[in-house]
Amino acid sequence: MISYNKLIEQLPMEVQFPMMKILDQLREEVLDTVTKADFKTLENVVSALGDKMLELAEAQKRTELRVEELAEAQKRTEETLREVVKKQDRMAKELGGLSTSFGYFLENEAIAFLPEVLKKKKDIDIQVMDRRYIVYADGKDDEINIYGEGLESGKKIYVIGESKSQFGKKDADRFQKLLQRVSAHVRAKVYPLIVTHSVHPTVEEYAKKTIPGLEFYKSYEMKLKMSEP
DSSP secondary structure, 142-167, as one string: EEEEEEEEEEETTEEEEEEEEEEEEE
The pLDDT value recorded for residue 226 is 46
Closest to 136 (Cα-Cα) out of 175, 184, 179? 184
In a 13 Å sphere around the CA of 227, the CA atoms on its Cβ side amount to: 5
CA dihedral over 110, 112, 116, 118, signed as positive or negative:
positive
CB 129 within 8 A of CB 115: yes
The answer regarding whether domain 114-227 maps to CATH 3.40.605.10 reads no
Alpha helices in the chain (DSSP H): 4-9, 13-122, 169-186, 201-210, 219-227
Per-residue pLDDT of the chain (229 residues; tens, 9 = 90+): 455 566 666 666 776 677 777 777 777 766 666 566 665 675 566 566 556 766 776 888 888 888 888 888 888 888 888 888 877 777 766 555 555 555 667 888 889 889 999 998 899 999 999 999 999 999 999 999 999 999 999 999 999 999 888 889 999 999 999 999 999 999 899 999 999 888 999 999 999 999 999 999 988 776 544 445 4
For the chain, the domains span 114-227
